[in-house]
Amino acid sequence: MSGIEPINTDILIVGGGVAGLATAIHFADLRDAGAFGEGGAPLPCNILVLEKGSSIGSHTLSGAVIDPSTLKELLPGVDPKDFPFESPVTKEEVYFLTPGRALRSPLTPPFMGNRGNFVVSLGKLTRWLADIAEKKGVQLYTGFSVSEIIYEDGRVAGARTLDTGVDKHGKPMDNFQAGDEIRAKLTVLAEGSRGSLTRALCRRLKLEEHSNPQAYSTGVKELWDLPEGAFAAGRVIHTLGFPFEFNHFGGGFVYGLNGRQVAVGIAAGLDYTDPTFDPHAALQVYKKHPLIASILAGGKLLRYGAKTIPEGGLHSLPRLYHDGVMIVGDSAGFLSMPSLKGVHLAIESGMLAAKAALEAFQKNDFSAGQLGLYDALFRKSSAFRTLSATRNFRAGFGRGMIAGAFHFAAQLITGGRGLTPSGRMKTHEDAACYSGLSDIKRPFSRKFAKELVFDKQLTFDKVTDVYFSGAKHDEEQPCHLHVPDLELCRNTCIPKYGGPCRHFCPAEVYEIVTDPASGKKDLHLHPSNCVHCKTCDIKDPFGNIEWAVPYGGDGPEYGEM
Ligand code: SF4
């Protein structure tokens, strides 16, 4: 890839995570099964996957318990015993936590059961899928950031990678290299949660105009190494309650990977009102709870990371296609919130998109009218049935945990409709949910002030945790976090909300500094810390932060997480 001549391909897949790889693998299988194009010509076979991480899996972070059903459908020729899973789920427990106690639920709540599921390292799974895709002839390039969609006569005609060798002010340097223009008959967006191209596409084409606003959580996770046998492989713990308030949707988890390593984390709904809520701090406080602290005793931190999770479900999906483009996986919002699982739906959405792509190539028709087959297939799929049965789940919890439990019970009885006459409960933009700082009686930062002293054994400050994420960025490039109106930060956001970005960012990218002479507060950025979670793009109260792709290969290095 040189940046001089346009590159032509048949399918361009942006994102080398599970959804993008499933699309590539299934399309390659359908192609190789002998499907022919117009007039009996062999179908075109160029499938190009671009991944911004330095390697496949380096930006992959997840809850790591998966339902294997769709992976079996994707790879019918592979014995499930050969899937690269860490362990079958051997034991599952659900607890309600008070600050000092853990009350075990005698029942597993509906949809949360994990019988037949597996604990996985998603990084390992994506690397394994990438090997399979490459053996099927898929071209896979890592370290390429795709920054722009190419439109031609209103249709998507491909995408452009980011220029490199540009200084902080946007001026070309000696090592300047123009981005590549990649022309494709069909582009598939598989960027993960809050993808920047997907966002731009949805805005431009109003693909979300009939959808609920997407509801997100921020998941913050650490990987720990424990003494052998301290936490069994396949043991799965989910918790509700502490450290979350009753009006805040969220929970915690501990997953045993292989008899030594455990993933411990929290997922915090971003529709919270308290501008001082801090997901990284919430994880540190969570680890101090006696149940969690006893599990982690004698262990050591291996890795840290964060990502956002699209939770809105069926009613928050955008239109999934337009002329020349389809959206799959987390980019669209394929995630079942009650079970906190998206991998099997990401795989299924990729397979459905591949089927629709096959017919588009057979007919040489990449119009929205033809690609609408993807949506039609989805509406007949098990993914649709899964999402439909819980379609109001997250919206119900937007009114607090108790109201949410009540609404959920009603949805179970009514097959997902609940008590709303229209059958569709509304969600709100997460950024619009804040209360002013002065209206919060007991802000998170004050409530847990005493607990937030970090001993660097059980608990860690943000900067130390960022070190364990492996995040790095070329510091010469233009800042990938666009804050166009700093006056708005100074004069409105900081006085009213206290600068919530310094709290919601789990990587200490945003710092409020006070000028010693004038006493004025200002925003300073440390973009090299960024772990690409996208929380700032979602939760800034004024929509004054836009996350854009930095250079390819920059960002976290999650490795085995
Ligand atoms: Fe996440 Fe934004 Fe902070 Fe980066 S700057 S870690 S995307 S909140």
Per-residue pLDDT of the chain (561 residues; tens, 9 = 90+): 555 689 999 999 999 999 999 999 999 999 888 766 666 676 767 999 999 999 999 998 755 899 999 999 999 999 999 999 999 999 999 999 999 999 999 888 877 889 999 999 999 999 999 999 999 999 999 999 999 999 999 999 999 999 999 999 999 999 999 999 999 999 999 999 999 999 999 999 999 999 999 999 999 999 999 999 899 999 999 999 999 998 899 999 999 998 899 999 999 999 999 999 999 999 999 999 999 999 999 999 999 999 999 999 999 999 999 999 999 999 999 999 888 889 999 999 999 999 999 999 999 999 999 999 999 999 999 999 999 998 888 888 877 777 778 788 877 777 778 777 777 888 889 999 999 999 999 999 999 998 889 999 999 999 999 999 999 999 999 999 999 999 999 999 999 999 999 999 999 999 999 988 888 888 999 999 999 999 999 999 999 999 999 999 999 998 755
Q: Is the CB of 466 under 6 A from ligand 1?
A: no
Question: Could you tell me which residues are beta bridge partners of residue 239?
Answer: 95, 252
CA of 444 to the centre of ligand 1 (A): 20
Q: How many CB atoms lie under 10 A from the CB of residue 226?
A: 18
CA of 372 to the centre of ligand 1 (A): 34
Closest CA to 512 of 542, 531, 490: 490
Structure tokens at 144: 């390429």
CA of 538 to the centre of ligand 1 (A): 10
Q: Is the CB of 536 under 6 A from ligand 1?
A: yes
Looking up tokens 């795709």 gives: 146
Q: Is the CB of 532 under 6 A from ligand 1?
A: yes
* DSSP structural state of residue 536: H
CA of 420 to the centre of ligand 1 (A): 36
Beta strand 91-97 pairing with 102-104: antiparallel
The helix (H) or strand (E) run that includes residue 444 is helix 444-447
Q: How many CB atoms lie under 10 A from the CB of residue 172?
A: 13
Structure tokens at 25: 């693998």
What is the distance of C-alpha 250 from the center of its chain?
16
CB 264 within 8 A of CB 224: yes
Q: How many CB atoms lie under 10 A from the CB of residue 182?
A: 23
Q: Tell me which residue has its CA closest to atom 2 in ligand 1.
A: 536
Q: Which one of 530, 532, 546, 558 would you pick to mutate in the ligand 1 pocket, going by the greatest count of ligand atoms within 8 A of its CB?
A: 530
C-alpha 330/C-alpha 533 separation (Å) is: 13
* DSSP structural state of residue 456: S
CA of 480 to the centre of ligand 1 (A): 10
Classify the phi-psi angles of 37: left when phi > 0, otherwise alpha if psi is within -120 to 50, otherwise beta. Answer: beta
Which atom of ligand 1 is least distant from the CA of 533?
1
CA of 405 to the centre of ligand 1 (A): 31
Q: Look up residue 355 and give its amino acid.
A: K
CA of 532 to the centre of ligand 1 (A): 5
pLDDT at 361: 92
pLDDT at 405: 80
CA of 529 to the centre of ligand 1 (A): 8
Q: Is the CB of 530 under 6 A from ligand 1?
A: yes
Q: How many CB atoms lie under 10 A from the CB of residue 53?
A: 26
Which atom of ligand 1 is least distant from the CA of 504?
8
- The verdict on whether omega for the bond into residue 527 sits within 30 degrees of 0, i.e. cis, is no
Q: Look up residue 493 and give its amino acid.
A: C
Q: Is 228 exposed, middle or buried (0-12, 13-18, 19+ CB in 10 A)?
A: exposed
Q: Is 277 exposed, middle or buried (0-12, 13-18, 19+ CB in 10 A)?
A: buried
Q: Tell me which residue has its CA closest to atom 7 in ligand 1.
A: 534
Closest CA to 197 of 146, 154, 152: 146
CA atoms lying within 13 Å on the CB side of residue 369:
3
pLDDT at 340: 81
Burial 93-121 (b: 16+ CB within 10 A, else e): ebbebeeeebeeeeeeeebbebeebbbbb
Which atom of ligand 1 is least distant from the CA of 532?
7
Which are the contacts of 528, defined by CB distance < 8 A and separation ≥ 6?
471, 472, 473, 475
Q: Which one of 309, 504, 524, 547 would you pick to mutate in the ligand 1 pocket, going by the greatest count of ligand atoms within 8 A of its CB?
A: 547
CA of 382 to the centre of ligand 1 (A): 34
Structure tokens at 157: 């005609």
C-alpha 118/C-alpha 219 separation (Å) is: 19
Structure tokens at 160: 């452009």
C-alpha 403/C-alpha 405 separation (Å) is: 6
Q: Is the CB of 507 under 6 A from ligand 1?
A: yes
Helix, strand, coil proportions of the chain in percent (round to 5)? 30, 25, 45
DSSP three-state, residue 404: helix
CA of 453 to the centre of ligand 1 (A): 23
CA of 219 to the centre of ligand 1 (A): 12
CA of 507 to the centre of ligand 1 (A): 6
Closest CA to 220 of 244, 196, 200, 197: 244
Q: Which one of 510, 528, 531 would you pick to mutate in the ligand 1 pocket, going by the greatest count of ligand atoms within 8 A of its CB?
A: 531
Structure tokens at 174: 């000696």
CA of 194 to the centre of ligand 1 (A): 12
Q: What does each C-alpha distance from 452 to 28, 95, 286, 458 come to in angstroms?
A: 51, 23, 11, 12
Q: Is the CB of 547 under 6 A from ligand 1?
A: yes
Q: Is the CB of 531 under 6 A from ligand 1?
A: yes
Q: Tell me which residue has its CA closest to atom 4 in ligand 1.
A: 530
Looking up tokens 């989910």 gives: 238
CA of 12 to the centre of ligand 1 (A): 27
Which atom of ligand 1 is least distant from the CA of 501?
8
Q: Tell me which residue has its CA closest to atom 3 in ligand 1.
A: 505
The widest CA-to-CA distance across the chain, in whole angstroms, is 77
Which atom of ligand 1 is least distant from the CA of 537?
2
CA atoms lying within 13 Å on the CB side of residue 343:
25
Q: How many helices (H) and strands (E) does the chain have?
A: 17, 24
What is the distance of C-alpha 229 from the center of its chain?
31
Q: What does each C-alpha distance from 106 to 90, 231, 256, 340 come to in angstroms?
A: 17, 21, 21, 20
Q: Tell me which residue has its CA closest to atom 8 in ligand 1.
A: 505
Closest CA to 161 of 152, 171, 148: 148
Q: Is the CB of 471 under 6 A from ligand 1?
A: no
* DSSP structural state of residue 492: I
Q: Tell me which residue has its CA closest to atom 1 in ligand 1.
A: 533
pLDDT at 1: 55
CB 549 within 8 A of CB 147: yes
Q: Is the CB of 505 under 6 A from ligand 1?
A: yes
pLDDT at 63: 54
pLDDT at 309: 95
Q: Is the CB of 533 under 6 A from ligand 1?
A: yes
Looking up tokens 């427990």 gives: 93
Closest CA to 559 of 123, 261, 128, 64: 123
Looking up tokens 């009613």 gives: 315
What is the distance of C-alpha 180 from the center of its chain?
26
Q: Is the CB of 481 under 6 A from ligand 1?
A: yes
CA of 27 to the centre of ligand 1 (A): 34
CA of 243 to the centre of ligand 1 (A): 22
pLDDT at 393: 84
C-alpha 312/C-alpha 430 separation (Å) is: 11
C-alpha 184/C-alpha 10 separation (Å) is: 5
- The verdict on whether omega for the bond into residue 484 sits within 30 degrees of 0, i.e. cis, is no
